[in-house]
Amino acid sequence: MKKMNISDAELELLKELWVESPLTSRQLVDRLQMRTQWGEPTIKTLLLRLLRKKAVKRQSQGKSFLYSAAIRRDEYQYTVSRSVIDRLFDGLAGNFLTCLVRNESFRPGELEELRRLLDEKAAAQDEQQPE
């Protein structure tokens, strides 16, 4: 996936579509108005921007449209994370992880999950090493 410039406000709309898709513009407006101060015109402008960026797709249903995310959440998270790693950590994911581990608090079980993932990654890389 190529890097997309998605604003924080646009991301809030995308998050709704990642939770449930497809949705009508009315459903999106109702959901976003429950947790933001945005008016309907603002939300529809965000939706149009995301359509132009091809981050959201729509399909016709009668007189209305159904909207869904055109990009997967995990793909977007990786693209944004990779950009941060490249810009701030000289492309070194290990430096990024070290910074997080040293400075973040983790919920119960998260460190064990990270340890398991790192062990799996190390084992996979060991298997790929020529003997």
pLDDT at residue 20, as a whole number:
96
Confidence at 131, pLDDT banded by 50, 70, 90: low
Per-chain mean pLDDT for the chain: 93
pLDDT at residue 2, as a whole number:
73
Q: What percent of the chain is predicted at pLDDT more than 90?
A: 85
What 3-state class would DSSP assign to 23?
strand
User: Is pLDDT larger for residue 3 or for residue 29?
Assistant: 29
Complete DSSP assignment for 79-117: HHHHHHHHHHSTT-HHHHHHHHHHH----TTHHHHHHHH
pTM of the shown model: 0.82
**Eight-class DSSP state of 53:** T
Q: Which helix (H) or strand (E) holds 126?
A: helix 110-128
pLDDT at residue 10, as a whole number:
97
Spatial separation of the C-alpha atoms in residues 75 and 15, rounded to whole Å: 13
Largest interatomic CA distance in the chain = 64
